[in-house]
Amino acid sequence: SERTLVLVKPDGVERGLVGEVIARIERKGLRLAALELRTVSREVAEQHYAEHDGKPFFTSLLDFITSGPVVAAVVEGPRAIAAFRQLAGGTDPVEKATPGSLRGDFAVEVESNLVHGSDSPESAAREIKLWFPSL
């Protein structure tokens, strides 16, 4: 079994899509190991997106993720990292995510693309430690 960090980003919380995201996670056969509504500090946002530091969209990414509450979750199950990324769909909700995925069904823009999911075991370990240090 594997763990991944999932975020419902501020656009998803604002639009009332938290239940939709959680329902799809559960229907897929994954479990919630932690779940919390949070407002992200600038510090946590910078650490979470450290790999994008220096990119042209870094500042707007931080502005966006700190713009309102997010739902943070640790999701657990067999192949949880890849399984959630399949549920999420590609980063660009129109060019990459296909209909049937969360981004394909519910998002249009690259920045406000509804959800985040860890992209590797290393990222998952780092992100879970950052968001849920007691786990």
Shortest reach from residue 113's CB to ligand ATP, in Å: 5
Determine which residue in the list 34, 45, 110, 130 makes contact with ligand ATP, applying CB under 6 A: 110
Q: Which is nearer to ligand ATP, 3 or 116 (CB)?
A: 116
Q: Is 27 annotated as a binding residue?
A: no
The residue among 126, 22, 127, 106 whose CA lies nearest residue 71 is 22
Q: Which residues contact 34 (CB under 8 A, 6 or more apart)?
A: 72, 73, 74, 132, 135
Q: Does 48 bind ligand ATP (CB under 6 A)?
A: no
Catalytic residue among 116, 117, 118, 127: 116
Assess 119 for contact with ligand ATP (CB under 6 A). Answer: yes
- Element containing residue 77 per DSSP (H, E): strand 70-77
User: ∠6-22-82 over CA atoms, to 5°?
Assistant: 45
* Interface contacts to ligand ATP, rule CB under 6 A: 57, 61, 91, 110-111, 113, 116-117, 119
Residues annotated as catalytic are 116
